[in-house]
Amino acid sequence: MRIGNVKINILKQMLVLSMIILAFGFTSKAAGVSDYGALKVSGRYLTSSKTGDKVILRGVSTHGINWDVGYPYISKDAFSTLKDEYAVNAIRLAMYTTEYFGYCDKAGAGESQESVRSTLKERIDNGVKAATELDMYVIIDWHVLNDQNPNKYKKEAKAFFKEISEKYASYDNVLYEICNEPNGGTSWSDISKYANEVIPVIRKNDSDAVIIVGTPTWSQDVDIAAESPLAFDNIMYTLHFYAATHKDNYRDKLKKALDKELPVMVTEYGLSEASGNGNIDTSEGAKWLDLLDANSISYFAWSLSNKDESSALLKAGSSKKSGWSEGDLSKAGKWVFLQYKKRAGVTNVDTLRKVIGLKLKNVKGKKIRVKWSAVSGADGYQIVYSTNSKFKKSKKKQVTSTAVKLSKLKKKKTYYVKLRAYKNAGAGKKFGKYSAVKKIKIKK
């Protein structure tokens, strides 16, 4: 593809970056929604509304949730494994709009189109709820592919995002991807026309959620989008790459977009060829992830699947739906998850166990005494508490003891409390699993 006359010595940049990384380590950690809160776009960066810090989501995309290589992995157990074992803090739910069991065209599926849509929305809801319970971010992806131009099913897209954004408007962890990979000659003008109608539908219900827009040529032409970005806040633009096919000239396209301050998110990438199959190229994969980390760009690996293709993260035919050890992972999965742990500052492969023995007691002066059992190997504990059972607008406290008093609480209010252990890991922290949630009403 044409990319102009920009020439960048990527190898030299990556060698310098690698030396910096080895010397100082990454400052990012596999933090979640309770750490960052709702996300927003500031300049070209994804940032935390709570702290103002730049945020890198290191995520995994499902395969199509239409099929049995995708939807069986939509579960709290599966997402928990990704989070606790492999430093994943975000999930992308890929819902195909066409092909078998597609939302807009069910193809050969025996069910009615309305029944297909109902099932797909139920799978999305299961995924959003599982991610929410686990303090993870989640992208709801309108997976345009064989329909090529998102305007083909624009009416259906507007109805879908109206319903979905109404349902999840209060969720701080939900992001919307409104067209996966426009292709077949679909222009940025075509995509802009579509986006200018779909985005206001979401904004009517959710005024500040991050919305991700695909770019031309299978979401590769971010440089073209950068010439004429959309006139909305909290918008990001998609770049997809498959490392064995997309190399320096595609990184040059990203560099051109960044030079124009375009907010970019990689909602799908793989180590394989562009087909999703074929050769694996970890050397090019490392160049890509180094470049993305250096520019605080989030990325989602394709795909959480046991499909017999080289981009799948699980071994072909694997029967396990969660609890994967290294031996259950494909070649791509082993490489990707090792990278995630290193880049998130998780230096200890072993996870901390869940905190047990959590006890709450009222103390005079609108206080709560919180006690729990020690976790072997922990450097400290993070307590999260809120008057909301979903921990919205929660407060956090970190201690090194196994008891703490929470003060300045509200009389006659019910408080929900959970906590987790952590290990110090470089500049960040490696967290264990949350305890069971306990609640208590402030008496006086």
Q: What is the pLDDT of residues 266-305, one digit of tens each?
A: 999 999 999 999 999 999 999 999 999 999 999 999 999 9
Catalytic annotation, residues: 181, 268
Residue numbers of the chain with a pLDDT score lower than 50? 1-29, 347-350
Claim to verify: residue 297 and residue 217 sit in the same structural domain: yes
Q: Does residue 254 lie within any of the structural domains?
A: yes
pLDDT score for 7: 34
**Do 79 and 90 contact (CB within 8 A), yes or no?**
no
Q: Does residue 349 lie within any of the structural domains?
A: no
Domain of residue 377, CATH code: 2.60.40.10
**Do 46 and 89 contact (CB within 8 A), yes or no?**
no
- List 384's β-bridge partners, or say none: 396, 418
DSSP category for residue 152? G
Listed in sequence order, the DSSP H helices in 137-281 are: 154-167, 188-205, 216-219, 222-227, 248-259
pLDDT score for 426: 60
Claim to verify: residue 139 and residue 244 sit in the same structural domain: yes
pLDDT score for 351: 54
Q: Distance between CA 187 and CA 278 in Å, rounded?
A: 29
Domain final position from 289, 315, 343:
343
**Do 205 and 161 contact (CB within 8 A), yes or no?**
no
Claim to verify: residue 316 and residue 377 sit in the same structural domain: no
Claim to verify: residue 333 and residue 430 sit in the same structural domain: no
pLDDT score for 274: 97
Domain of residue 99, CATH code: 3.20.20.80
pLDDT score for 4: 36
Q: Does residue 353 lie within any of the structural domains?
A: no
Nearest to 211 by CA among 199, 220, 200: 199
Q: For residue 440, which amino acid is it?
A: I
* Cis-peptide, bond into residue 61, ω within 30° of zero: no
Claim to verify: residue 261 and residue 146 sit in the same structural domain: yes
Claim to verify: residue 328 and residue 388 sit in the same structural domain: no
Claim to verify: residue 331 and residue 365 sit in the same structural domain: no
Q: For residue 180, which amino acid is it?
A: N
Nearest to 302 by CA among 63, 68, 131: 63
Claim to verify: residue 373 and residue 337 sit in the same structural domain: no
Length of the chain (residues)? 444
**Do 279 and 27 contact (CB within 8 A), yes or no?**
no
Q: Please count the structural domains in the chain.
A: 2
Claim to verify: residue 311 and residue 422 sit in the same structural domain: no
Claim to verify: residue 339 and residue 363 sit in the same structural domain: no
What does the pLDDT look like over 385-439, one tens digit per residue? 999 999 988 999 999 999 999 999 998 999 999 999 988 866 678 788 889 999 9
- List 428's β-bridge partners, or say none: 425
Name the residue range of residue 302's domain: 10-343
Q: Does residue 3 lie within any of the structural domains?
A: no
With tokens 């071994």, the residue in question is 315
Nearest to 377 by CA among 427, 422, 327: 422
Domain final position from 343, 375, 409:
343
